[in-house]
Homo-oligomer: A and B are copies of this chain.
Amino acid sequence: MSRSLREALTRIDVAPLRRPTAAESVRSALRQQIVDGHLRPGTRLVEETIGSALGFSRNTVREALALLAAERLVVRETHRGVVVATLSSEDVRDLYAARRVIEPAALRRGPGLDVAALEGLREAVTLGQDAARGEDVQGMVSANQLFHRRVSALSGSSRVQELMEDMLAEMRLVFDVMTADRTFHPDFLHRNGQIVALLEAGDRDGAAEAMLAYLHDAEVRLLSAPVWDDRD
């Protein structure tokens, strides 16, 4: 094979192009229902029921549930079944401890911070502001998650991004509890803007510190919410 041909071929990124396997379909369908709040925390997920509802066999559903359990979106207890995860205040502490490690560090040192990345962050902030003006709570949550997803992308590690992805899904379970508080999201959307402004000014350490404070305050605010499932 000629040298130039080989080199030209390396530039093709061959798309995965495989249609999702059955287990993947079930997995993402359930995942979607959970993060969208249609399957509330505590809901029992019965294999047979899901299987016949979605048109897949029990074994396939089992595989999907096992993966969701690895993601912590559902909890499996042997011989007792699977339920949509119900987060405890301990989980909230754990999630925010993780985010305080990852997000400030990504801002401070992550190798992914370039012009395009800054624009992406700015865009997420703008989307959030639009949603806030329209009092669109779903939109605010999505924009906020987009912002933090892109922050974690600055880490330059797909493994870190994947963890953040999972944790953001878990956060939807948390916000299930917070639907009452109408001021929660707007307050924190504003602070996203401040963080981006610091980055744009070239002050990465400042942005990292602002993120740390943000996460601290958000955790306190969430933990002060009335009801947490703390029967562990």
Contacts and interface: CB of A to CB of B under 8 A. Distances in A.
Interface string A12-24: 0000001001010
Interface residues of A, number: 35
A28 interface: no
Contact of A156 (B66, B97, B156): B97
Contact of A59 (B18, B59, B106, B166): B59
Interface in A91-142: 93-95, 97-98, 100-102, 104-106, 109-111
Interface stretch (A47-55, A81-89, A157-165): A157-165
A95 B157 contact: yes
Interface in A135-153: none
Nearest to A93: B156
Count copies of this chain in the complex.
Answer: 2
A221 to B, nearest CB: 18
A101 B105 contact: yes
B62 A94 contact: no
Chain B CB count within 10 A is highest, among A67, A98, A110, A155, for A98
Contacts of A163: 159-160, 163
Contact of A95 (B59, B95, B111, B159): B159
Nearest to A104: B105
A78 B21 contact: yes
A212 interface: yes
A85 to B, nearest CB: 13
A104 B102 CA distance: 10
B158 A94 contact: yes
A104 B104 CA distance: 11
Interface of A: 18, 21, 23, 59, 62-63, 66-67, 70, 72, 78, 93-95, 97-98, 100-102, 104-106, 109-111, 155-160, 163, 166-167, 212
Top 10 closest A-B pairs, CB basis?
Answer: A98-B157, A97-B157, A105-B105, A97-B156, A101-B105, A98-B159, A101-B155, A98-B160, A94-B157, A18-B78
23 contacts: A18-B78, A62-B63, A63-B63, A67-B67, A94-B157, A94-B158, A97-B111, A97-B157, A97-B160, A98-B155, A98-B159, A98-B160, A100-B109, A101-B101, A101-B102, A101-B105, A101-B155, A102-B102, A102-B105, A102-B160, A105-B105, A159-B163, A160-B163
